[in-house]
Structure 1
């Protein structure tokens, strides 16, 4: 799929920065920032509640009880918590880079906003399931949080918008390779470089979901679009 760029003489006047952001991107980003900041700054019982509510957790030797939404809620809600300010800033940079174009492509009305949120949270859930699946296969404990599972799907979606399936491959493959390198390097390397373990399996799961799901969402929202020119 291709978009024609208007010539300079017919381009619209430059607008204030937030006018270019669909409301759904602002609201989602604001919610993620607010909950993450609450978790990082308040602590105590509030942090315990948020972690029980949101964090994707698995331990082959532990049964987790007392989770408000059980094991299903964290598949979607882990995106609202982050492991520190750097983690949060990096993910919000990805949201700013890809979110507006994806939201506009799906539509700026209520249906488009719903499609954007559904796409993001389905990619997030796919990433969480991939992370859990890998942990279970390896019989290792895992605690995963952060919006990068869903945002990994935005790499593929952005590629679809830039150049159809070839564009999706161009943007997706580098991110896939990076995460496979992280997988082979082991958690010690990323812990030493970034101060945290990177959930590479969640990134891969979200990326694959984005690659598969975005053309479906786009076709549903814009039936006349041509994806495979």
Structure 2
């Protein structure tokens, strides 16, 4: 069995190379798109600096430097967007995909993966953040309804005054596609103050103490997600 690379042990250049390799699986023309973007934005940057006041060799040097800077920035922005799309494409529909996506949330959001599950590997994750408590389910929609309803009752008994929301990840009617999950969470109405989140999490500890531990399925979700975090966050 091939040994998996630990993204946390990579330097920035290695992470970039690994992300490029993973992206190329579903986006084989990524190299050509990056080159084209670099050239187009580079020319625009060159022309922009060329019209600035200056003369002689200094004008040309500044224009070339400006073109390289603009071209590099344009290519990096495009790479970030296409890498994110590629990562979601490879993860979607596989066990643990929603958990991998949720773990990219920034400070202010607290994620607890697999707080509830069944034998068929339908899983409910919990996010505590500005909108309140979000129960995020992944698996079979029909089976998740009962599982999430039970979790909702448990949470409402512990934190009755905190809003509890249910989200099912998938492509069926009423579900949220994996690529839209982060956007959905961030657009939700803020109903909980940051100071209250600590209190909510403290109350949930008693609920979690009675749960059996469950490891998330390993293998299907690309391990490169750790290395792609810096490229994907907030993009």
TM-score, normalised via structure 1 length:
0.26
- How does the TM-score come out when normalised to structure 2? 0.25
Greater percentage in strand: 2
